[in-house]
C-alpha cells in the first residue's frame, strides 16, 4: 500500500459528458418544446429535484425499490417543468424518461476527457470515478463512453453499491480506504456544487469545480477549491509541467 500515491477522481454525469444533451432531446421529442425554451435552466431544476427525491427515498445509497426509483425519475420532470408553466402528466413523464434513458446510452465523453485520464495515469496518478446512482445504470453510461478501457474497475465507485452518496463525505472515505490513498493526496473533479464540491471538501480532499456552465456557487463553503470550465483548463491545473 502506497499512502503517498497521488490520485485524481472524476464525477461522471455532466463532468465526463454533457448531461444536458440527452435531457434536452428527450424533452423536445416527447413534449415538442421549442428552441426558445430555457433548456439549461430547466436542466438545473430537473437535477435539483432528482437530488431531492433521491435523498428522500434513499435511492443513491441503493436502499429503495423500483417503485421509489420510478417516482423519482418521473417526478423530477413533473416538478421541474411546473416551474416553467408546463404541466406534465405522469404518462408523459414516463415517456420522457424512456427517451432520456435511450439517449443516455449513446453518449460521448467531452473532448479531451479520455486523453487526460490516460496522461494522468502515465504520469503516475491513480485515476478513478466516483458517481451517484445505481450500479447498473451508471455502469451502462461508463461503458457507453468506453471509460472502462481507461479506468481500472477497482477504481470505479458507484454510490448505490458503496452505500453512501455524495455529498456524504463517507463515500470519499471509503474510496481512500479501498484504494490505499490519503485524503490530502486526492483531488476530486465534478460539476455539482452540492454533491461534488461540498462533499469532497468535507472529506478533506482537494477539489476542482468543473463549472463549464458558469454557475454561481450555491452556498458558502469552508474550504479551498479551484475552478475549470474545460478539459484544457483541467489539464493545465493537473499537469502544469506537461508539454
State the residue for C-alpha cell 454525469: 13
Other CB atoms closer than 10 Å to residue 58's CB: what's the count?
13
Contacts of 243 (CB under 8 A, 6+ apart): none
Q: Nine-digit cell at 57? A: 427515498
Q: Quick one: average pLDDT of 41-48? A: 95
**What is the tens place of the pLDDT at every residue in 68-88?**
888 999 999 999 999 999 999
Looking at residue 224, its pLDDT comes to: 82
pLDDT at position 65 is 77
Q: What is the per-residue pLDDT for 229?
A: 97
Which is more confident, 54 or 181? 181
- What pLDDT, on a 0 to 100 scale, did the predictor assign at position 3? 55
C-alpha cell at 160: 448505490
- pLDDT of 243: 56
pLDDT of residue 4: 66
CB under 8 Å to 139, separation ≥6 — which residues?
156, 158
* The three grid cell numbers given for residue 197, joined into one nine-digit string: 464540491
Distances (CA, A) of 208 to 17, 92, 186, 228, 235: 16, 37, 11, 7, 11
Q: Which CATH number fits domain 7-17+109-238: 3.40.50.1000, 3.40.50.720, 3.90.1150.10, 3.30.930.10?
A: 3.40.50.1000
- Over residues 155-214, the pLDDT tens digits come to 999 999 999 999 999 999 999 999 999 999 999 999 999 999 999 999 999 999 999 999
What value does the mean pLDDT of the chain take? 93
Nearest to 157 by CA among 208, 198, 211, 199: 199
| Residue 100 and residue 22 in contact, taking contact as beta carbons nearer than 8 Å | yes
pLDDT of residue 219: 81
Mean local confidence (pLDDT), 107-117: 97
Distance CA 15, CA 13 (A): 5
Between CA 207 and CA 205 the distance in angstroms is 6
- What are the residue boundaries of the structural domains of the chain, listed by start? 7-17+109-238, 20-104
Of 7-11, 59-63, 161-165, which gets the smallest average pLDDT?
Answer: 59-63
Over residues 111-139, the mean pLDDT reads: 96
Question: What is the model's pTM?
Answer: 0.92
Residue 56 is predicted with a pLDDT of 80
At what angle are helices 135-144 and 90-104 packed, to 10 degrees? Answer: 50
**pLDDT band (50, 70, 90) for residue 95:** very high
Q: Give 7's strand partners.
A: 126, 186
pLDDT of 57 over the 80 cut: no
- What is the pLDDT, as a whole number, of residue 158? 97
The backbone region for 112, taken as left when phi is positive above 0, alpha when psi lies in -120 to 50, beta otherwise, is left
Check residue 242 and give its pLDDT.
Answer: 66
DSSP string, 23-54: HHHHHHHHH---TTS-HHHHHHHHHHHHHHHH
Amino acid at each position: 500500500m502506497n499512502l503517498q500515491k497521488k490520485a485524481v477522481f472524476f464525477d461522471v454525469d455532466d463532468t465526463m459528458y454533457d448531461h444536458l444533451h440527452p435531457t434536452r432531446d428527450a424533452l423536445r421529442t416527447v413534449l415538442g418544446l421549442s428552441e426558445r425554451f430555457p433548456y439549461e435552466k430547466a436542466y438545473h431544476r430537473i437535477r435539483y429535484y432528482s437530488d431531492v427525491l433521491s435523498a428522500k427515498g434513499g435511492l443513491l445509497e441503493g436502499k429503495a425499490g423500483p417503485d421509489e426509483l420510478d417516482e423519482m425519475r418521473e417526478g423530477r420532470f413533473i416538478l421541474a417543468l411546473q416551474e416553467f408553466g408546463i404541466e406534465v402528466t405522469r404518462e408523459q413523464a414516463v415517456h420522457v424518461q424512456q427517451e432520456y434513458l435511450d439517449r443516455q446510452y449513446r453518449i460521448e465523453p467531452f473532448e479531451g476527457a479520455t486523453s487526460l485520464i490516460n496522461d494522468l495515469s502515465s504520469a503516475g496518478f491513480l485515476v478513478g470515478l466516483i458517481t451517484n446512482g445505481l450500479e447498473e445504470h451508471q455502469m451502462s453510461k461508463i461503458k457507453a463512453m468506453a471509460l472502462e478501457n481507461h479506468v481500472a474497475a477497482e477504481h470505479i465507485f458507484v454510490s448505490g453499491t458503496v452505500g453512501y452518496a455524495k455529498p456524504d463525505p463517507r463515500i470519499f472515505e471509503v474510496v481512500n480506504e479501498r484504494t490505499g490513498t490519503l485524503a490530502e493526496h486526492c483531488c476530486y473533479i465534478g460539476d455539482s456544487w452540492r454533491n461534488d464540491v461540498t462533499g469532497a471538501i468535507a472529506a478533506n480532499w482537494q477539489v476542482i469545480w468543473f463549472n463549464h456552465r458558469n454557475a454561481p456557487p450555491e452556498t458558502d463553503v469552508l474550504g479551498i477549491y479551484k475552478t475549470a470550465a474545460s478539459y484544457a483548463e483541467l489539464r493545465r491545473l493537473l499537469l502544469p509541467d506537461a508539454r
